[in-house]
Amino acid sequence: MSGTSGTSGTSGTVPDRMYIGGQWVEASDGGFVEIVDPATEEVIGRVPKATAADLDAALAAADSAWRSWRQVDAWTRSAALRRVAGIIRERVDEIADIMTGEQGKPLAESRAEVGAAADHFDWYADEARRIYGRVIDGHSRTNRLMVVREPVGPVAAFCAWNFPVLLPARKMAPAIAAGCSIIVTPAPEAPRTALCLARACHDAGIPAGVVNVVCGDPPFISERLISSPIIRKVSLTGSVPVGKLLLRQAADGVKAVSMELGGHSPVLVFEDADIEEAAAAVVRAKFRNCGQVCVSPSRFFAHESVVEEFTRRVVELASGLKIGSGRDPATEVGPLCNRRRLESVERMVADAVGHGARVALGGKRPKGCDRGLFYEPTVLCDVDDQMLVMREEPFGPLAPIASFTSMEEALARANSTPYGLAGYVFTRSLKTAFLASEGLETGMVGVNHLMLSTAEAPFGGVKESGLGREGGAEGIESYTVAKCINMLL
C-alpha cells in the first residue's frame, strides 16, 4: 500500500485514492476501477480497487481509532462535526461538479445534495450532545439502576450511486457523533464524492482511522468487512436483494444492522385534490435525478373523476423538461447512471406496452442521442397492477398512471407490493389526509408534496424496504447500545 497522496488530500483536486487510517492510498496491488461519465459514456477517472490487505488495514485503523474516539467528550465531537459541515459548504461547487461528472444529475441537483449532506453533519453535531441515558428506581433504596448509551463500535457502511454524497453523509455523521469509527464503501459508479467527505473530515481534524473510505468490488468488500469480528454494525442503502444478502452475512456474526432498501412509492390523488399543484409536484419529483430516487413517486393512482385531467397536466408539464448533460445549466433531466438502468427502463416500457398500456409521453431514447444513457420522461396510461412497472421499482423516468374508485381500493392497491418506503397523498380534506396517511403501509408519507428527505426527520421504510432509520433524533440510536448498570450499595 502506498503512502500519503497530496493530490487526493488537497481541496481543488479530484480525490482519486482511498482514505485509510488518515492516509490517501493506492491499492496494494495497483488495481483500479474506471469511472464513466453517463452523459458521454467516456472514462473520466479511476480509483483504487481495494485488496484483502487494504481492507484489513482499514479494519485495523477503525478498530484502533474507535477505542480512543469513544473516549472523546460529546462537545468535542460536536465541534468537529460542525467544522466538517462548514468545509462541505465551502466546497459545494467543487463537490457538485465531481458528482455531476460521475453520476450525471444536473448541477443544480448536485449542489442541493451537497447542501443536504452538510445539513446532516450539522444536525448530528447537535445530536452528539444529546445521547441521553436514564436513572430508574429499583426495588429498594439499596439499588441504583442506570441506563447509559455507548457507541456500538466500528461500522461497515455501503452506499448506492444515486445520491453519492448524501447517502455516505447519513451514515458518517451519526457514527462520528456517537463515538464510532466507520468504513464507507461507495458505489463504484460514483465513488469520488464520498472521498470528498473523507477529505472534509480529514481537514476538520477528525482523528485518523475514525473515517475510512475504500473503493472497489462491493461484494468482495462486504464479505471481507462483515465477516470480520472488528465490525459491530452494518449499514446499507441499496437494493432489496443486496440488503437480504448483507443481512445473511451479518447474521453469522449477530451484528447490528440498519437497511434503507428499495421502494415503489404510491401516489394517491383524491377527487378533491388541487390537480394543478399535484401534477406540478409530481413532475418535479418524478423526474428528479432521472427517477433514480428511492422515494421517487413510482405508482400513480388518481381518482376516476380526475384521472384524465391529472394525466393531461402531467404530460403537458413533463413534455417541457429539457434533457441533456448535467453540466448544461438548462438541463432538467440528466442521463441514467449506468447501462443496467437504461436496459431495465426499456424492458419495463416494452412489458407495459405489450400488455396493453398506452404511451402518453416518451417511451424511447431521445432523438440524436447516440451517446449517453438518456431516456425520455415517460408517462404510461391504461396500466394494470400486474405489469412489471407496477410490481417492481422502475428507478427511472417512468410514470405509470392508473385510476381508483374508493379510498379502500386505493389503499389496497398501494399496499399490495412487498415495499413500504414512502407514500404520497394529495387531498384538500383533513379527514382524507389522516385516513390515507394512516392506511399506507410505509415508513414515510408526504401529504400534498413529495420532498421527504431532511436531516431533522427520520428516513426509512417497513416491510422489505428496510430496518432502522436515518436522520432525525432516531438516526443516532442504531449507532449506540444501551448498557444497564444495576448497583447494590
Grid coordinates representing 308? 384524465
Give the pLDDT band of residue 9 (cuts 50, 70, 90): low
**Which of 415, 342, 362 has its CA nearest to residue 385?**
415
The pLDDT of 475-489, averaged and rounded, is 95
pLDDT beyond 90 at 3: no
Domain span holding position 422: 265-454
Check residue 339 and give its pLDDT.
93
- The alpha helices in 37-106, defined as continuous H runs, are 52-69, 74-90, 92-103
Are residues 103 and 190 part of one domain?
A: yes
The pLDDT of 104-125, averaged and rounded, is 98
Are residues 269 and 256 part of one domain?
A: no
* 134: enclosing H helix or E strand: strand 134-136
Beta bridge partners of 276: none
The pLDDT of 382-393, averaged and rounded, is 96
pLDDT beyond 80 at 4: no
Residue 135 lies in a domain: yes
Check residue 2 and give its pLDDT.
42
pLDDT beyond 90 at 370: no
Neighbours of 70 (CB within 10 A): 16
Task: For residue range 303-314, list pLDDT tens digits in order.
Answer: 999 999 999 999
Check residue 224 and give its pLDDT.
98
Check residue 398 and give its pLDDT.
98
Are residues 307 and 441 part of one domain?
A: yes
Strand duo 143-151 + 480-488: pairing: antiparallel
Residue 10 lies in a domain: no
Are residues 166 and 89 part of one domain?
A: yes
Residue 234 lies in a domain: yes
Check residue 11 and give its pLDDT.
66
Neighbours of 330 (CB within 10 A): 8
Task: For residue range 219-257, list pLDDT tens digits in order.
Answer: 999 999 999 999 999 999 999 999 999 999 999 999 999
φ, ψ of residue 342 to 5 degrees: the values are -60, -45
Residue 9 lies in a domain: no
User: Which positions are annotated as active-site residues?
Assistant: 260, 294
Percent residues over pLDDT 90 in the chain:
95
Grid coordinates representing 322? 429539457
Neighbours of 432 (CB within 10 A): 19
Q: How far apart are CA 23 and CA 20, in angstroms?
A: 5
Are residues 164 and 115 part of one domain?
A: yes
Are residues 479 and 347 part of one domain?
A: no
**Residue carrying the nine cell digits 462537545:** 75
Residue 322 lies in a domain: yes
Are residues 191 and 219 part of one domain?
A: yes
Beta bridge partners of 446: 424
Residue scoring higher pLDDT (100 or 14): 100
The pLDDT of 428-453, averaged and rounded, is 97
Number of domains in the chain: 2
Task: For residue range 207-222, list pLDDT tens digits in order.
Answer: 999 999 999 999 999 9
pLDDT beyond 50 at 131: yes
Are residues 306 and 245 part of one domain?
A: no
The pLDDT of 376-381, averaged and rounded, is 98
Largest interatomic CA distance in the chain: 81
Give the pLDDT band of residue 5 (cuts 50, 70, 90): very low
Q: How far apart are CA 311 and CA 296, in angstroms?
A: 17
Are residues 229 and 123 part of one domain?
A: yes
Are residues 474 and 442 part of one domain?
A: no
Are residues 235 and 278 part of one domain?
A: no
pLDDT beyond 90 at 368: no
Check residue 268 and give its pLDDT.
98
Residue 6 lies in a domain: no
Check residue 6 and give its pLDDT.
44
Name the pTM for this structure: 0.95
**Which of 63, 106, 259 has its CA nearest to residue 170?**
259
Tell me the average pLDDT of the chain.
96
Q: Helices 166-178 and 74-90: crossing angle, nearest 10°?
A: 160
Percent residues over pLDDT 70 in the chain:
98
Residue 145 lies in a domain: yes
Q: How far apart are CA 478 and CA 482, in angstroms?
A: 10
**Which of 404, 307, 306, 401 has its CA nearest to residue 362?**
401
Find the CATH number of the domain harbouring 438. 3.40.309.10
Check residue 8 and give its pLDDT.
64
Are residues 227 and 127 part of one domain?
A: yes
Residue 2 lies in a domain: no
Check residue 369 and give its pLDDT.
76
Find the CATH number of the domain harbouring 94. 3.40.605.10
